[in-house]
Amino acid sequence: MTSVVLAATRTVEANRRAAIAQLARIETLSMLRRVSIWIGVAVSLAFIVTGAVAQEDWSSQKYQSLVPLGVFPMTMATFVAGVRSGNRDRSTRGALADEAPLGGDQRTAARLASLIVPVGFVVVAMAAIGVGSRIEGGFRVGDGQFRTDSAVHSVGELLQPPLVVAVVGAAAIAIGRWVVRPGPALVVGVVVLFATGSVYWMWNAGYAYATALMQVHPLGDLDVVHIPTVFLHDLYLLGLVGLFVGLSLRGASRPRLVMGGAVLAGLSVAAQLAVSPL
C-alpha cells in the first residue's frame, strides 16, 4: 500500500513539474511578444553602438559609460514587462484564483523563468562588448603615468548587467503580483530607473558604489579597476535576486529566499566596504 501511495505521489509531482515547465515556455513566448522588451532591445543597441563608435574616448569616459548606458534602457523595459506579467492574475480581464490547476506560486515561478528573455539579450550584448573591445584593443582609462589605452572590462563587470536585469525583473514581478492597479507602480518604477540609470556616475563616490544597482568602475578617483569589489558586488546583486524572488512568492520557500537573499546582499555590501581601496 505504501509503495502505491509513493508511486502516485511521484507521478503527481512529475506531472506538476511538467505543467510548470510547459507554462514557463508559454510565459517565455509571451515575454518575447512584449513590445516593451523590443523597445528596450532597440534603444539599448542604439546606445551601445553610438557609445562604441561615436563617443569620444577621453580619460575613462567610454570605459565607464558604455556598459551602464547600454543596459539601463533594458532595465526599464524589463520592469514594464515584469509588472504586467506579475499582475496578470489580478487583472480584471484574466483573474485567476490560487485554487487554479497551478497555484499562484507555480505561475509566478513560470513568469520568473521568462526573465531569461531580457537577461539573455543582455548576456549577448555584454559578450559582444567584451569580445569587441578585446579585438579593437581596449579603452582608455586613467591619466598621466597611470593612463592605459588597452583597458577591457573584466568578466565580473560584464556579469553585473545581466544580474541587474534579473534584479529588476524579479522585483517587477513581485510588485505586479501584489498591486491591484499596476499603473502607478509602472510610472514610479520607470522614473526611478531612468533617474538612477541616466546619472550612473553619481553612484561612483562615497559609499554609494557598494549598494548601487549598476556599479561603475574605476571607482571614485582611482585609475584602476578593483576586481575584488567587482565580484563582491556581483554577489550583492545575486542576493537581491534571491530577495525579490522570495518576495514574489507566498509559500514555504518565501522566508528562506528573502532571508538568504538579504543576508547575502548585506554581507556583500560589508565586504565591499572592507576591501575597497576607497
Residue 135 above 60 pLDDT? yes
Residue 171 lies in a domain: yes
Residue 188 above 60 pLDDT? yes
Residue 2 above 60 pLDDT? no
Residue 140 lies in a domain: yes
CB atoms inside a 10 Å sphere around CB 194 = 14
Look up the pTM and report it. Answer: 0.88
* pLDDT tens-digit readout, 80-132: 999 999 888 766 454 444 444 567 788 899 999 999 999 999 999 999 999 99
What is the domain range of residue 139? 2-197
| C-alpha–C-alpha distance, residues 86 and 61, integer Å | 37
Residue 161 lies in a domain: yes
Q: What are phi and psi of 10, to 5 degrees?
A: -65, -40
Closest of 26, 24, 36, 31 to residue 85, by C-alpha: 31
* Total number of domains constituting the chain: 1
Residue 16 lies in a domain: yes
CA angle 75, 76, 77 (to 5 degrees): 90
Region of 91 on the Ramachandran plot (φ > 0 left; ψ -120 to 50 alpha; else beta): beta
Question: Does the N-terminal peptide bond of residue 184 adopt cis geometry, omega within 30 degrees of 0?
Answer: no
Residue 258 lies in a domain: no
Residue 223 lies in a domain: no
Q: What is the DSSP letter of 99?
A: T
| C-alpha–C-alpha distance, residues 236 and 268, integer Å | 5
Residue 146 lies in a domain: yes
Of 40-49, 84-93, 234-243, the range with the highest mean pLDDT is 234-243
| Across 13-17, 31-35, 59-63, least confident range | 13-17
Residue 248 lies in a domain: no
Cβ proximity of 226 and 213 under 8 Å: no
